[in-house]
């Protein structure tokens, strides 16, 4: 009641200032600019969309529109396509990410696909949570760096709420928060054509090689296509006699250990060799050529014998509360060298490799926020009389909805053979990670999967790599998986061929020189020609990935949410959807939102916030947002800016008053990030002079821009209480 009376009093006082605000609004002037604001965009040499795509035509369409609101967008083509990744996440990138500015040592904005699993939020923790600053103590992969208390709370609430309604409410709130304070502007979610040879059955594009229990070469179809003159003798021999499948990969590879997975190609072929406790799958398995019901994507036990068993809360060694789950393992699983899999392999992979932040393992940022450690049952060690290698415990910070999906992460969390490495974590530069073969020509690495490493061409990583069936694969053992045995069927050999040009991948697919391909790019009408062609299985599928502009928050302009919202409304979405994407083979794109896509479900409920507004191409709005940014730093015309909105959330409310109270008597932008766990890091290197004020934490209670938070700022807050910027109902 007291709070209500207080709010009413404030609102009543604010009404007294209506004439003042109206007068200020009536005197609106265009903010003075000495010169356009320059932003440096980094493009890869690949002109198309994708994980390393340059998105060239999209940048060309944005450049003139940005110029209309005073943004000089400079486009920089850097090195090879992997340099974009290295610029954001590579070795030597400082804590909190690279500085803004001119490449090759800085960047302001980049476009790059981010995969969002249909089964859940895997690969989001590492880039969205504040604790996951790149190269920080927890070695996450937050490259923005985006620090948002509201985002953290909504996201973590979503991921730790098992009740369907509660999780949906958190998911909806999180998506709205990301649209109000965007770490990225996601331009679109695509629908794309999936094409593969008609004889290559039982394969799903979004489960990939994770679950190929149903994969097979249909030898009858191969024979019929050959008899009809649709297959060359070479293709017929490869498929019918040699039983070999070839994949055209757009990316090179540099690692053989899944611990250091760093490209889609590595992820896919390493899934043939290395295995995880759980696997991404579909239930029921779809009919070839029929689009999958998105709600049917799920996660199944793989090396694990069942879903995790909750043991419950307990007081951990550090006197903190933790949650214990138990993972029973399938018994009798063997590595390809005949050694039995047991709990020691999992504890070694998780504790000694993934949780060791000094190694720079690929899955560390996704694993650390959730799992404290793995433990042997009863904390016994291997070799002791009480040791039970058939199960283990995971110690969690708290129960986590997507735990099995995190444990199914084939981007770095596949199980390693402890016996092979002698219990010592391999380094990125180690021979097994960088050399497929030993000095005597023998293959170094044992396999748990349906295939094992066989051979590779030269130059290494840029030619081809081949795999042969692993007779020890547990899926072929009815005593472990029951009857019938798992596939793949009639596929004795699997080859990954590096084909960097999109047009070449499509040509090879049409000629059956490869059987499926990554990112084959061509106009929609070309793909339409595949739809009724009996040589191919062709369908239109959702593509579970976002295609965003990424912002570098180490550029002070981009750390301001009004600047990012200005750019979000200066993107010519209709032109991109109509003129650019169809030329890449993308039809009916869905306007972007957040790091949740329209095909994600939980308990049959769509997590996508379908009621939420999307960004629209509107240069008037874009200019208004940009003006808010400019006025917020203008010592003369400050009253035309977001006066009173200390936290830059678009409205003047009590949160802004609390910021003002905390900072009274100080210079602006000195507020500490007191909501962050001090164990994560001691200081944040922005501004570069030091301190813990973070990009994106746009706090400025110095409303009159006189470099001091004083009593006059309170009057300005009071005068503007209840106001929304830059117009009523704005983001």
pLDDT tens column, 619-653:
999 999 999 999 988 889 999 899 999 988 899 99
- Cα 692 to its chain centre, rounded Å, is 26
Q: What is the CB neighbour count within 10 angstroms for residue 507?
A: 17
Q: What is the CB neighbour count within 10 angstroms for residue 116?
A: 23
What are the pLDDT digits (tens) for 313-328?
Answer: 999 999 999 999 999 9
* Residue 669 located in a structural domain: no
3-state secondary structure 643-712: CCCCCCCCECCHHHHHHHHHHCCCCCCCCCCCCCCCCCCCCCCCCCCCCCCCCCCCCCCCCCCCCCCCHH
Q: Are 288 and 202 in contact (CB under 8 A)?
A: yes
Residues 41 and 142 in one domain: yes
How far apart, in Å, are the Cα atoms of 561 and each of 551, 625, 660, 699? 11, 9, 19, 11
- Boundary-marking domain end, from 542, 563, 597: 542
Residue 373's domain is classified under what CATH number? 3.90.76.10
- Boundary-marking domain end, from 421, 452, 480: 421
Q: Quick one: which H or E segment has residue 300? A: strand 297-301
Residue 535 CA to residue 221 CA, distance in Å, equals 9
* Residue 501 located in a structural domain: yes
Residues 453 and 468 in one domain: yes
- Boundary-marking domain end, from 619, 651, 668: 619
Six token digits for residue 454: 């066989």
Q: Are 209 and 268 in contact (CB under 8 A)?
A: yes
Q: Are 271 and 208 in contact (CB under 8 A)?
A: yes
**Cis status, amide bond into 594, omega within 30 of 0:** no
What pLDDT was estimated at residue 678?
63
Residues 387 and 529 in one domain: no
Residues 412 and 381 in one domain: yes
Residue 16 CA to residue 280 CA, distance in Å, equals 60
Residues 109 and 84 in one domain: yes
Six token digits for residue 133: 């600053």
How far apart, in Å, are the Cα atoms of 423 and each of 153, 366, 426? 38, 23, 9
Residues 426 and 538 in one domain: yes
CA end-to-end span of the chain: 30
* Residue 516 located in a structural domain: yes
Q: What is the domain range of residue 612?
A: 37-187+549-619
Residues 67 and 199 in one domain: no
Q: Are 316 and 372 in contact (CB under 8 A)?
A: yes
Q: What is the CB neighbour count within 10 angstroms for residue 544?
A: 20
* Residue 654 located in a structural domain: no
* Residue 659 located in a structural domain: no
Residue ranges of the chain with per-residue pLDDT less than 70: 1-34, 95-96, 133-140, 670-674, 676-698
Residue 460's domain is classified under what CATH number? 3.40.190.10
In terms of C-beta density within 10 A (0-12 exposed, 13-18 middle, 19 or more buried), how is residue 33 classed? Answer: exposed
Residue 374 CA to residue 183 CA, distance in Å, equals 33
Residues 120 and 49 in one domain: yes
Beginning with the edge strand found earlier in the chain, give each strand of the sheet holding 309-315 in spatial order. Answer: 309-315, 321-328, 391-396, 371-376
Residues 45 and 67 in one domain: yes
The closest of 220, 3, 31 to 636, measured between CA atoms, is 31
Residue 53 CA to residue 46 CA, distance in Å, equals 5
Residue 271 CA to residue 25 CA, distance in Å, equals 60
Residues 275 and 147 in one domain: no
Tokens 């040592």 appear where? 105
* Residue 660 located in a structural domain: no
3-state secondary structure of 204: coil
Helices (H), 511-585: 524-528, 561-568, 573-575
Residue 665 CB contacts under 8 Å (≥ 6 apart), including other chains: 708, 709, 710
Beta strand pairing call for 71-77 and 37-43: parallel
Q: Are 622 and 560 in contact (CB under 8 A)?
A: no
Helices (H), 274-414: 343-347, 364-367, 403-407
What pLDDT was estimated at residue 242?
98
What 8-state DSSP symbol labels residue 340? B
Residue 176 CA to residue 593 CA, distance in Å, equals 9
Tokens 């999109």 appear where? 502
- Cα 330 to its chain centre, rounded Å, is 30
Six token digits for residue 388: 């039970």
* Residue 317 located in a structural domain: yes
Residue 274 CA to residue 276 CA, distance in Å, equals 7
What's the pTM value of the predicted model, to 2 decimals? Answer: 0.92
Helix, strand, coil shares of the chain as percentages rounded to 5? 30, 20, 50
Residue 123 CA to residue 548 CA, distance in Å, equals 15
Q: Are 282 and 191 in contact (CB under 8 A)?
A: no
Q: Are 712 and 704 in contact (CB under 8 A)?
A: yes
The closest of 276, 302, 291, 277 to 213, measured between CA atoms, is 302
Structurally, the chain folds into a number of domains equal to 3
What 8-state DSSP symbol labels residue 464? E
* Residue 679 located in a structural domain: no
Strand partners, 42: 76, 110
What pLDDT was estimated at residue 311?
97
Residues 56 and 71 in one domain: yes
Residue 120 CA to residue 159 CA, distance in Å, equals 9
Residue 585's domain is classified under what CATH number? 3.10.105
Six token digits for residue 526: 């070309």
What 8-state DSSP symbol labels residue 352? I
Residue 723 CB contacts under 8 Å (≥ 6 apart), including other chains: 21, 644, 645, 651, 652
Q: Are 142 and 129 in contact (CB under 8 A)?
A: yes
Please give the torsion angle defined by the CA atoms of residues 509, 511, 512 and 513, in that order, rounded to the nearest 10 degrees: -90
Residues 394 and 512 in one domain: no
Sign of CA dihedral 118, 122, 127, 129: positive
């Amino acid at each position: 009641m007291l709070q209500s009376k207080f709010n009413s009093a404030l609102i009543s006082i604010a009404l007294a200032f209506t004439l003042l605000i109206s007068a200020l609004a009536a005197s609106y002037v265009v903010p003075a600019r000495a010169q356009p604001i320059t932003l440096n965009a980094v493009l890869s040499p690949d002109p198309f969309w994708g994980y390393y795509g340059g998105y060239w035509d999209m940048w060309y369409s944005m450049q003139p529109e940005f110029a209309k609101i005073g943004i000089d967008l400079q486009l920089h083509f850097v090195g090879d396509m992997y340099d974009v990744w290295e610029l954001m996440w590579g070795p030597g990138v400082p804590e909190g990410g690279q500085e803004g500015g001119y490449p090759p040592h800085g960047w302001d904005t980049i476009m790059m696909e981010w995969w969002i699993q249909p089964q859940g939020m895997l690969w989001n923790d590492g880039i969205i949570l504040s604790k996951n600053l790149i190269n920080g103590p927890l070695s996450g992969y937050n490259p923005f760096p985006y620090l948002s208390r509201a985002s953290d709370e909504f996201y973590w609430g979503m991921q730790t709420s098992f009740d369907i309604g509660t999780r949906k409410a958190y998911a909806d709130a999180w998506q709205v928060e990301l649209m109000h304070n965007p770490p990225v502007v996601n331009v679109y979610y695509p629908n794309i054509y999936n094409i593969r040879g008609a004889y290559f059955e039982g394969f799903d594009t979004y489960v990939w090689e994770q679950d190929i229990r149903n994969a097979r070469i249909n030898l009858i179809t191969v024979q019929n296509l050959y008899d009809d003159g649709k297959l060359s003798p070479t293709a017929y021999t490869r498929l019918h006699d040699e039983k070999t499948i070839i994949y055209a990969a757009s990316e090179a590879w540099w690692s053989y250990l899944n611990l250091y997975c760093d490209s889609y190609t590595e992820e896919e072929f390493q899934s043939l060799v290395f295995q995880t406790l759980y696997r991404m799958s579909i239930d029921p398995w779809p009919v070839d050529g029929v689009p999958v019901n998105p709600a049917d994507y799920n996660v199944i036990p793989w090396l694990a014998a069942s879903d995790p068993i909750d043991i419950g809360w307990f007081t951990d060694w550090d006197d903190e509360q933790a949650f214990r789950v138990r993972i029973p393992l399938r018994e009798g699983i063997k590595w390809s060298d005949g050694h039995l899999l047991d709990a020691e392999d999992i504890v070694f992979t998780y504790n000694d490799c993934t949780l060791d932040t000094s190694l720079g393992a690929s899955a560390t940022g996704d694993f650390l926020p959730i799992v404290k450690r793995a433990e042997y049952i009863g904390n016994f060690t291997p070799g002791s009389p009480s040791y039970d290698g058939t199960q283990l415990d995971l110690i969690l910070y708290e129960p986590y909805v997507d735990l099995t999906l995190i444990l199914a992460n084939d981007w770095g969390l596949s199980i390693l053979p402890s016996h092979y490495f002698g219990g010592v974590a391999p380094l990125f530069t180690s021979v097994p990670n960088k050399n497929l073969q030993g000095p005597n020509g023998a293959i170094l690495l044992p396999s748990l999967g349906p295939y094992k490493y066989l051979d590779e061409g030269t130059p290494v990583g840029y030619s081809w790599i081949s795999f042969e069936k692993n007779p020890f694969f547990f899926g072929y053992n009815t005593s472990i998986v029951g009857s019938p045995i798992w596939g793949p069927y009639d596929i004795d050999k699997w080859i990954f061929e590096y084909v960097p040009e999109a047009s070449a991948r499509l040509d090879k697919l049409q000629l059956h020189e490869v059987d499926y391909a990554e990112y084959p790019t061509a106009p929609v009408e070309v793909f339409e020609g595949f739809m009724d062609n009996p040589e191919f299985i062709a369908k239109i599928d959702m593509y579970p990935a976002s295609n965003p502009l990424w912002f570098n928050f180490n550029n002070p302009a981009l750390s301001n949410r009004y600047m990012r919202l200005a750019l979000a409304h200066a993107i010519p979405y209709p032109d991109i959807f109509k003129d650019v994407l169809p030329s890449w083979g993308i039809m009916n794109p869905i306007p972007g939102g957040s790091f949740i896509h329209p095909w994600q479900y939980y308990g049959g409920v769509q997590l996508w916030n379908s009621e939420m507004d999307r960004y629209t191409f509107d240069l008037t709005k874009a200019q208004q947002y940009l003006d808010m940014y400019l006025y917020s730093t203008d010592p003369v015309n400050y009253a035309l800016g977001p006066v009173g909105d200390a936290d830059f959330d678009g409205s003047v409310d009590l949160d802004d008053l609390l910021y003002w109270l905390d900072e009274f008597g100080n210079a602006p932008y000195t507020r500490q990030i007191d909501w962050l766990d001090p164990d994560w890091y001691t200081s944040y290197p922005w501004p570069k002079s030091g301190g813990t004020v973070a990009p994106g934490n746009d706090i400025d209670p110095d409303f009159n821009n006189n470099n001091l938070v004083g009593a006059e700022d309170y009057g300005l807050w009071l005068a503007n209480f209840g106001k929304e910027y830059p117009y009523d109902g704005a983001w």
